[in-house]
Amino acid sequence: MKFNRLESTCIPLPMENVDTDQIIPARFLKATTREGFGENLFRDWRFDNADQAIPDFILNNPQYGGQVLVAGKNFGCGSSREHAAWALVDYGFRVIISSFFADIFRHNALNNSLLPIQVEADFLDTLFQVIERDARSVVEIDLPAQTLSVIGQDLRTDFEIDGYKKECLLNGYDDIDYLLQRGEAVRHFEQHKAYVF
């Protein structure tokens, strides 16, 4: 999936340390395909034991919608399960904004064209306030320019992304396409490595 520019309303989740066990609980990891995990995204926060929607949870609040999740610091910590990224994508998210991402999650997101945007803590706080004031606030994400702005407001920031990963997202390439072209270098490495095992 390619990614270029996106305009969308946001869903705020101002909690810190949202771990992958919350994003997709282990008992839903039994599927052998990548599809369908969105149904169980944030399962235990979204639904009670009787499978009834919990009205307090933000995804069940009809005021909020969109393809951008705005989350508290250290989003995606815990397990390496890529199912967390698949669940977010399957649910419809294209971008996650936070002041901090757990490493493995960030990789998993990028490998699924889900763009993790890391912003300053102050910017994140302001963005939460903007969304809280008006759930219809729209953000614009411009990947080529690496900017994130709130439309109609004087709120804007640049964001970092690895140049290689940016190229992949813009063109819809993945790492394997790149690595498969390195076969000769790998054979050379194997013949000259410093160790015997």
Partner 1 sequence: MQGAAPKTLFDKVWDHHIVQARAGYPDVLYIDRHFIHEVTSPQAFDGLRRRGIGVARPQQTIATADHNVPTQNQHLPIAEPLSRFQVDTLQKNCREFGVELFGLGHEKQGIVHVIGPELGISLPGMTIVCGDSHTSTHGALGAIAFGIGTSQVEQVLATQTLLAARPKTMKIEINGPLGKGVLSKDLILFIISQITTSGATGHFVEYCGSTIRQLSMEARMTICNMSIEMGARGGLIAPDDITFEYLRGKAYVPQGADWEASVRWWKGLASDPGATFDTEYRFDAADIEPMITYGTNPGMGVGVRQHIPRPSGSHHAELDKALHYMGLQEREALLGQKIDYVFIGSCTNSRIEDLRLVANFVKNKHKAPHVNAWIVPGSQAVEQQARAEGLDRIFAEAGFDLRQPGCSACLAMNEDKVPAGKYCVSTSNRNFEGRQGPGARTFLASPLTAAAAAVTGSISDVRDFL
Q: Which residues bind partner 1 (CB under 8 A)?
A: 15-17, 19, 21-22, 25-27, 29-34, 44, 49, 73-74, 77-83, 85, 100, 102-104, 107-108, 111-112, 162-164, 174-176, 178-180, 182-183, 185-186, 189-190, 193-197
Q: Do 112 and 89 touch, CB atoms closer than 8 A?
A: yes
- Residues in the chain, total: 197
- Of 121 and 151, nearer to partner 1 (C-beta) is 121
CB burial string 27-64: b at 16+ within 10 A, e below: ebeeeeeeeebeebbbbebbeeeeeeeeeeebbeeeeb
Question: Closest approach of Cβ 21 to partner 1, in Å?
Answer: 4
Question: Closest approach of Cβ 177 to partner 1, in Å?
Answer: 9
- Of 84 and 139, nearer to partner 1 (C-beta) is 84
Question: Closest approach of Cβ 194 to partner 1, in Å?
Answer: 5
Question: Closest approach of Cβ 48 to partner 1, in Å?
Answer: 10
Q: Do 63 and 5 touch, CB atoms closer than 8 A?
A: no
Residue/partner pairs of 189-197 with CB below 8 Å, 24 or more apart: none
